[in-house]
Amino acid sequence: MKTKELLQKLEGIQTIETVMGALNINREKAIYYIYRLRKEGYVKTKYLSNKKRVYNISFENRLKGTSYYEIINKYSPVKISTPKTYMMYGKEPSLEETIIYAIKTQSFRTILASLALFRKIDDWSNLYQLAKKNHIERQVGALYDVARKIMLTRRMTKRFRNSALPKKDIKWRYIVTNLKSDDFKNIQKIWKIYIPFNEKDLEAYKK
């Protein structure tokens, strides 16, 4: 079977069993086809919590694209998955870009997982400019302070902090709409930002 035909029939998330069913073939032949597509660059393999392999089969995989979610999963103990993957081709997203993207998703779990990226941030000027462009400087600052309480992080520059801290009479904002913490009230007060998670939500970082 030609590669183009295989891609048309198998594009998406597959297992050995679903490949067998889609092509009406035995297990040995299914393994061979996955191997062939992987060798040509069309397959990315993931492992589920039960160690079962799943295969993301797509023409886009050959373009060597990287998603923000792959960057987060690379560094975070909190793993995330999404059926809607936004790929960047030609370059890998920076950690600074990935933090901004995570906050803009307004996804509780994505933002929680992205806290791990503060361990690696060293271009604070770039992070500030991206945050300012997206009007989320205070959200970044508040999340950094949470991250600093639960793990070793790169130190935020004084310039970032002083520029991002709220001035008088500024409006409080949510990171995730209508979610606020019972455990990080001091950080919330400093930044006038409602933190969406509590101490117990951060247990994965303490293991």
The pLDDT value recorded for residue 49 is 74
Whether 87 and 67 have beta carbons less than 8 Å apart is answered as yes
Out of 62, 84, 113, a domain closes at 62
Tell me how many domains the chain contains: 2
User: Which residues, in sequence order, are CB contacts of 181 under 8 Å at separation 6+?
Assistant: 188, 194, 195, 196, 197, 198
Same domain, 165 and 76: yes
Please check whether residues 104 and 55 belong to one and the same domain.
Answer: no
Same domain? For 76 and 40 the reply is no
Beta bridge partners of 12: 57
Q: Give the count of beta carbons closer than 10 Å to the beta carbon of residue 202.
A: 19
Which tokens is 74 given? 């690379």
Q: Could you tell me if 48 and 81 lie in one domain?
A: no
Per-residue pLDDT tens for 13-60? 999 999 999 999 999 999 999 999 988 888 888 888 777 889 999 877
pLDDT (0 to 100) of residue 65: 63
Are the beta carbons of 88 and 41 closer than 8 angstroms? no
pLDDT at position 176 is 96
Cβ atoms of 201 and 110 closer than 8 Å: no
pLDDT tens per residue across span 107-133:
999 999 999 999 999 899 999 999 999
CATH assignment at residue 43: 1.10.10.10
Q: State the residue range of the domain holding 8.
A: 3-62
Any idea which of 50-59, 80-89, 138-147 has the lowest mean pLDDT?
Answer: 80-89
Encode pLDDT of 56-81 as tens digits.
998 777 766 678 888 899 899 998 87
State the chain's mean pLDDT as an integer.
90
Task: Tally the residues of the chain.
Answer: 207
